[in-house]
């Protein structure tokens, strides 16, 4: 089959966009579902949290499957299963069954790592940042588009939305199978297939640099999804008087205003992500390595420096967010939030501009570990925010007690000037036989 890497990028991006649309479609219609089934607030919270349940483990399995079976088969299977269950959920009348079906549809969120693996198998090291950024950033917008457009297109008729989302998912699954190619060269494909064994998987999980990248992604994407869930409530409670003063006096009005401020983070974090990949490529091309401690002679060293800068900016913006909140300044908080969303995108884009270069033989396994475990941040951070006495202080506590140690660990793990991907727990006996290293770059 004659194809081009841009076609593969488009297929992966469309598939991922649609998966994200399905992933967050339950949240978009949660008021309708709650109204239809008379759900309590606790049940509504459970429904809202269901989207993240499958992500940590599911992404690990999906990443391994992409290396083992190839991205087209894995992605098509995810699309087909989620599409069929989405269609079934359109005809369900029992809430318990509907809840289980929507948890299964939420598996669509694991597709991220499959597309990352697919793009990594096609693009060259000097353009991987932009390619992965375009894939992930454009696909991520599916969440925002779903929240924005689905209720406006389908109104309260969530069954029709679930039906159409499922039918189109089946169409994209067929397209992926027909036109998708796992890798640019059979040799690359064969290497990934052979490396997806248990020993190789444990090897990746125990590398210090893989753990550091996982923490970096927890600081960026984990924080992004945590803030998606947390910020509407934060603005409603933390700036209630200021929002009332703007003229939003009804409960619905306050929700819209708080949701609007919160959406700024989600939107900028998604749409600036390709820019971060581009910046990673630019650092690489110009050879910029401005930070102390971090390796400077590795083939991808400038990308390590770009990600480190991103982590520092995220930490600083968390501190600034607390300061703006304590000053009780709504405009300043929103301004900081815009910068915060951009810095988060720097972290997400910067991380996955590195992953395929650090683990070229097993990009799926690495993406599954780094992109999967890190999503637990989406659960942990809101718990911390909710258990701090002052609603504005949670960001500062996370910055001081989690992000500074995470960043220091990253600096420590990225200091090796010779194959950082070889350093880890049990490095002498875990190193897979016949391991190839990054000289491919």
Q: How far is residue 121's CA from residue 188's CA, in Å, rounded to a whole number?
A: 7
CA distance 202 to 198: 6
For other proteins, the closer of residues 96 and 439 by Cβ is: 439
Contact 262, 227 (CB under 8 A): yes
Q: How far is the CB of 267 from other proteins (least distance, A)?
A: 5
* Nearest CB to other proteins, comparing residues 141 and 218: 141
49 contacts: CB under 8 Å, gap ≥ 6: 229, 379
| Smallest distance, other proteins to C-beta of residue 258, A | 9
Report the nearest approach of other proteins to the CB of residue 362 (Å): 19
Q: Which residues pair with 207 in a beta bridge?
A: 424
For the CB of residue 147, give the shortest distance to other proteins in the complex, in Å: 11
Site of interaction with other proteins (CB under 8 A): 4-6, 125-127, 130-131, 133-134, 137-138, 141, 148, 246-248, 250, 252-253, 256-257, 259-261, 263-264, 267-268, 270-272, 274-275, 278, 284-285, 287, 289, 296-302, 331, 334, 338, 357, 441
What span, in angstroms and rounded, lies between the C-alpha atoms of 207 and 176? 33
CB of 18 to other proteins, least distance (A): 17
Query: With respect to other proteins, which residue has the nearer C-beta, 166 or 325?
Result: 325
**Minimal distance in Å, beta carbon 290 to other proteins?**
13
Shortest gap between Cβ of 268 and other proteins (angstroms)? 5
Return the closest-CA partner of residue 225 out of 343, 380, 99: 380
- CB neighbour class for 94 (10 Å; exposed up to 12, middle 13-18, buried from 19): exposed
Closest CB to other proteins among 233 and 259? 259
User: Alpha-carbon distance 282 to 264, whole Å?
Assistant: 26
Residue 138 vs 407, nearer CB to other proteins: 138
**Are the C-beta atoms of 220 and 314 separated by less than 8 Å?**
yes
Give the residue ranges of DSSP H helices in 180-250.
186-195, 198-205, 208-217, 223-238, 240-246
The least CB distance from residue 143 to other proteins, in Å, is: 14
CB count within 10 Å of CB 201 equals 22
Which residue, 256 or 404, has its beta carbon nearer to other proteins? 256
Q: Residue 205 CB, nearest distance to other proteins (Å)?
A: 26
* 94/126 with CB nearer other proteins: 126
Residue 139 Cβ vs other proteins, minimum distance, rounded to whole Å: 12
The single residue listed with the structure tokens 């199978």 is 177
Could you give the CA distance from residue 300 to residue 360 in angstroms, rounded to a whole number?
12
Compare residues 215 and 229 and give the one whose CB is closer to other proteins.
229
DSSP result, 291-346? SSSS-SSSTTHHHHHHHHHHHHHHHHHHHHHHHHHHTT-HHHHHHHHHHHHHHHHH
Which of 303, 229, 27, 317 has its CA nearest to residue 145? 27
Nearer to other proteins, 26 or 140 (CB): 140
Nearer to other proteins, 9 or 219 (CB): 9
Q: Which is nearer to other proteins, 94 or 417 (CB)?
A: 417
* Rounded Cα–Cα distance for residues 174 and 79 (Å): 9
Question: Using DSSP, how many helices (H) and how many strands (E) does the chain show?
Answer: 25, 0
Q: How far is the CB of 395 from other proteins (least distance, A)?
A: 20
Rg (CA), the chain: 21
């Amino acid at each position: 089959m004659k194809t081009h890497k841009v076609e593969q990028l488009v297929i992966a991006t469309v598939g991922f966009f649609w998966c994200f649309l399905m992933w967050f479609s339950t949240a978009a219609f949660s008021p309708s579902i709650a109204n239809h089934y008379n759900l309590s607030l606790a049940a509504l919270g459970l429904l809202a949290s269901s989207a993240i349940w499958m992500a940590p483990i599911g992404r690990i399995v999906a990443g391994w499957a992409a290396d083992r079976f190839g991205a087209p088969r894995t992605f098509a299977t995810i699309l087909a299963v989620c599409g069929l269950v989405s269609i079934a959920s359109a005809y369900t009348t029992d809430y318990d069954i509907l809840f289980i079906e929507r948890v299964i549809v939420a598996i669509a969120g694991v597709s991220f790592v499959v597309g990352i693996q697919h793009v990594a198998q096609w693009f060259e090291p000097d353009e991987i940042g932009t390619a992965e950024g375009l894939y992930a950033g454009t696909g991520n917008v599916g969440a925002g588009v779903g929240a924005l457009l689905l209720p406006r297109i389908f109104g309260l008729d969530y069954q029709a939305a679930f039906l159409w989302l499922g039918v189109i998912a089946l169409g994209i699954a067929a397209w992926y199978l027909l036109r998708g190619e796992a890798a640019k060269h059979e040799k690359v494909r064969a290497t990934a297939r052979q490396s997806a064994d248990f020993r190789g998987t444990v090897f990746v999980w125990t590398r210090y640099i893989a753990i550091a990248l996982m923490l970096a992604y927890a600081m960026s994407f984990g924080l992004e999804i945590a803030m998606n869930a947390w910020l509407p409530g934060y603005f409603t409670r933390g700036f209630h008087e200021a929002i009332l003063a703007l003229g939003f006096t009804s409960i619905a009005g306050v929700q819209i205003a708080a949701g609007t401020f919160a959406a700024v983070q989600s939107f900028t974090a998604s749409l600036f992500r390709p820019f971060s990949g581009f910046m990673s490529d630019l650092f690489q091309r110009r050879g910029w390595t401005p930070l102390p401690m971090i390796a400077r002679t590795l083939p991808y060293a400038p990308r390590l420096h770009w990600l480190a800068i991103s982590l520092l900016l995220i930490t600083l913006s968390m501190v600034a967010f607390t300061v703006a909140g304590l000053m009780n300044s709504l405009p300043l908080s929103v301004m900081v939030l815009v910068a915060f969303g951009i810095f988060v995108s720097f972290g997400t884009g910067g991380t996955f501009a590195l992953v395929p270069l650090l683990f070229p033989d097993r990009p799926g396994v690495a993406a599954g570990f780094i992109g999967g475990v890190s999503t637990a941040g989406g659960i942990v951070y809101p718990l911390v925010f909710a258990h701090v006495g002052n609603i504005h202080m949670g960001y500062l506590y996370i910055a001081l007690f989690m992000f500074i140690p995470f960043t220091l660990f990253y600096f420590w793990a990225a200091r090796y000037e010779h194959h950082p991907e070889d350093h880890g727990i049990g490095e002498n006996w875990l190193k897979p036989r016949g391991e190839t290293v990054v000289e491919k770059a």
